[in-house]
Amino acid sequence: MALSLTILGCHSATPRTFAYPTSQFLSINNEHFLIDCGEGTQVQLRKHKVKFSKISRIFISHLHGDHYFGLIGLISTFSLYQRQTELHIYGPKGLKEITKLQLKLGKSFLSYEIIFHELTSKKSEVIFENNKVSVATIPLKHRVYTNGFIFKEKIGERKLNISAISQINDIKNCDYQNLKNGKDFTKDNGDIIKNTALTFKTKPPKSYAFCSDTCYKPNIVPIIKEVNLLYHESTFLEDKSDLAKKTLHSTAKEAAKIANDAQVEKLILGHFSSRYTDETLFLKEAITVFEKTILAKEGLCIEL
Amino acid sequence: MALSLTILGCHSATPRTFAYPTSQFLSINNEHFLIDCGEGTQVQLRKHKVKFSKISRIFISHLHGDHYFGLIGLISTFSLYQRQTELHIYGPKGLKEITKLQLKLGKSFLSYEIIFHELTSKKSEVIFENNKVSVATIPLKHRVYTNGFIFKEKIGERKLNISAISQINDIKNCDYQNLKNGKDFTKDNGDIIKNTALTFKTKPPKSYAFCSDTCYKPNIVPIIKEVNLLYHESTFLEDKSDLAKKTLHSTAKEAAKIANDAQVEKLILGHFSSRYTDETLFLKEAITVFEKTILAKEGLCIEL
């Protein structure tokens, strides 16, 4: 699976019996990330059968409680289970200070190392990259410093066309990596064979953008242009657009406008305010602007 | 009801799908307290229909996560619901610093005032008292500074024996409070009528002692002597007494010894380690020493 996203929680403000604050588990090109970590996330991870040891990096959008109050508990539990591999945490400046203080006061010594990557930039920046994926920030506008995150698969190696290759005697095993990397092949007699004649192209890389919390911010559109999947907060409906403006949140319609302008493949709405008992209203409002919209719900798993 | 205790969570270390870390809601003589506040406590409060606004004071035993990681979320939710009445929090030094830092980084301004009572003494001390109840610390021994708490009803006012009073012409309405307070009555002619002839005694006051987390510590016995209800941690069974000693926890048998030596009316065991799947083993072990033992479980409500 190129990309798999599991919604662990998608409600705003405060955990309730059947409404969990923001947290998502993302697997992309075999890298595994946790995005935000509201109170109760570790229980949600268990409930939805996500192995704790899979999580290598945690991305925290901002320091409102419904997005990170579950982090210190998860960090502690990792240690209880004798985690050895280092954990990378990306989030606003201050997260390290809080975490260190809590560990100090509890006289807790972790079994593993945490590497904090504290974010302060107001411009989009690549904050993690390896040969499989890249992760960049999406600067958002909320009541505190906030980033969304865009996760992109790297373009994979091309696949060898063994049948075509077997007809060219000059090609040796040691040439395979160059072919996978897209290079043309030069025969001993100087003839050049185009790479496309010897390899197949791979599937186009997948991408996922997470945008929560934020007011309507059209200047994120170029950053998230044509992503396969966009999660955008929609705390309110248009009936509360004044409140959305005041609290720097978005309405379902505004989220849909962003999705439409960015020409994304699919939009997921979330971060619903508890004042709405009928969440289908969010969907109804959004699809008037952008049809390929779905609603986040606890346990929803989207695979691309 | 003189005393009502609701167990919100009674497992050790880490929240799981059906095992919640320590938290209890206590109503005593119409005062309402929260004792410890592990992650997820606010959801447990909702689940067990405890009104948030009832909680006037929160007592935190120590700064291990399974006893306080839910506090900041609860504090935030109180504010979201526009709480106006002040909240008193009693707990180890450091709790105020953590809370203030988290509120500052989230740019959160609470709708109400928190009054922190930071505890540092290693001797039992009265930390709250009014005309209905008193609360004192029980110094415990654990890996960090830890207190248990003993909650005692005050001896109530005596009840007026209206039939007897009506036969004494000299007694006026303004004398009633003195009678309720136990004073004898002096007639105009100088005769003294014993208070017991004019009032009924009230029910004996109830008391509750909460002891978690701690190693076996027999010198708490005089402090908790003859309480009606004792909650004592029993993280392990005797088969893991070495581990109990090492981690400064108690076994079920040790908890029962404390209950027996203190001649309490009833013992509740809790803070069970997740390594035991059959919790009735805790009961079996404890009743060999102290028969009137029960097991804590989520949602259990004990009324005295």
Parallel/antiparallel/unpaired status of strands B31-37 and A57-59: unpaired
pLDDT at B13 (0 to 100):
76
Global confidence as pTM: 0.90
Contact yes or no for A16 and B46 at CB 8 A: yes
Contact yes or no for B13 and A106 at CB 8 A: no
pLDDT at B61 (0 to 100):
98
Distance of CA B300 to the CA centre of its chain: 15
Neighbours of A161 (CB within 10 A): 15
The mean pLDDT value of chain B amounts to 95
Radius of gyration of chain A (CA): 22
Q: B249: which residues sit within 8 A by CB, 6+ positions away?
A: B12, B142, B213, B214, B215, B233, B235, B236, B243, B271
| Nearest of A231, A250, A232, A230 to residue A240 by alpha carbon | A250
Contact yes or no for A65 and B13 at CB 8 A: no
Which residues of chain B make contact with A106, given a CB cutoff of 8 A? 63-65, 144
What residue spans define the domains of chain A?
A: 3-156+202-301, 159-200
pLDDT at A30 (0 to 100):
93
Could you report the per-residue pLDDT of B5-29, keeping only the tens digit for each?
999 999 987 777 778 999 999 999 9
Catalytic, out of A66, A170, A175, A184: A66
Q: How confident is the model at residue B234 (pLDDT cuts 50, 70, 90)?
A: very high
Which residues of chain B make contact with A102, given a CB cutoff of 8 A? 63, 65, 98
Identify which has the larger pLDDT, B158 or A250: A250
pLDDT at B1 over 70: no
Average pLDDT over residues A242-267: 98
Could you report the per-residue pLDDT of B192-225, keeping only the tens digit for each?
999 999 999 888 899 999 999 999 999 999 999 9
Size of interface A-B (CB pairs under 8 A): 98
The alpha carbon torsion through A238, A244, A245, A250 (nearest 10 deg) reads -80
Residue whose entry in the numeric block shows the structure tokens 């996500």: A50
Q: Which of A150-159, A237-246, B102-111, B278-287 has the lowest mean pLDDT?
A: A150-159
Please tell me if residue B101 touches chain A, with a CB cutoff of 8 Å: yes
Average pLDDT over residues A269-288: 95
Out of A17, A69, A144, the one facing B72 most closely (by C-beta) is A69
Q: How confident is the model at residue A156 (pLDDT cuts 50, 70, 90)?
A: confident
Q: Which of A188-197, A283-292, B242-251 has the lowest mean pLDDT?
A: A188-197
Please tell me if residue B100 touches chain A, with a CB cutoff of 8 Å: no
CATH architecture, domain A3-156+202-301 = 4-Layer Sandwich (3.60)
Instruction: Tell the CATH topology of B3-156+202-303.
Output: Metallo-beta-lactamase; Chain A (3.60.15)
Distance CA B235, CA A95 (A): 32
Q: What do you get for the CA distance between the two ends of chain A, in Å?
A: 7
pLDDT at A16 (0 to 100):
75
Neighbours of A76 (CB within 10 A): 23
Which residues of chain B make contact with A235, given a CB cutoff of 8 A? none
B66 is catalytic: yes
Q: 3-class DSSP state for residue B167? A: coil
pLDDT at B18 (0 to 100):
77
Residue whose entry in the numeric block shows the structure tokens 């447990």: B44
Q: B245: which residues sit within 8 A by CB, 6+ positions away?
A: B215
The mean pLDDT value of chain A amounts to 95
Q: Which of A15-19, B17-21, B97-101 has the lowest mean pLDDT?
A: A15-19
Could you report the per-residue pLDDT of A79-90, keeping only the tens digit for each?
999 999 999 999
pLDDT at B16 (0 to 100):
75
Average pLDDT over residues A218-231: 98
pLDDT at B169 over 90: no
ipTM score of complex: 0.88
Average pLDDT over residues B245-256: 97
Average pLDDT over residues A48-73: 96
Distance CA B210, CA B208 (A): 7
What tokens does A152 get?
Answer: 């992109």
Average pLDDT over residues B145-174: 92
Contact yes or no for B43 and A17 at CB 8 A: yes
pLDDT at A1 (0 to 100):
64
User: Residue B180 in contact with residue B195, Cβ under 8 Å?
Assistant: no
Please tell me if residue B64 touches chain A, with a CB cutoff of 8 Å: yes
Residue whose entry in the numeric block shows the structure tokens 């403006």: A245
CA distances from A134 to A90, B78, B80, B87, B203 (A): 14, 39, 37, 46, 70
pLDDT at A202 over 90: no
pLDDT at A286 over 70: yes
Which residues of chain B make contact with A107, given a CB cutoff of 8 A? 143-144
Which residues of chain A make contact with B105, given a CB cutoff of 8 A? 63, 92, 94-95, 98, 144
Contact yes or no for B101 and A105 at CB 8 A: no
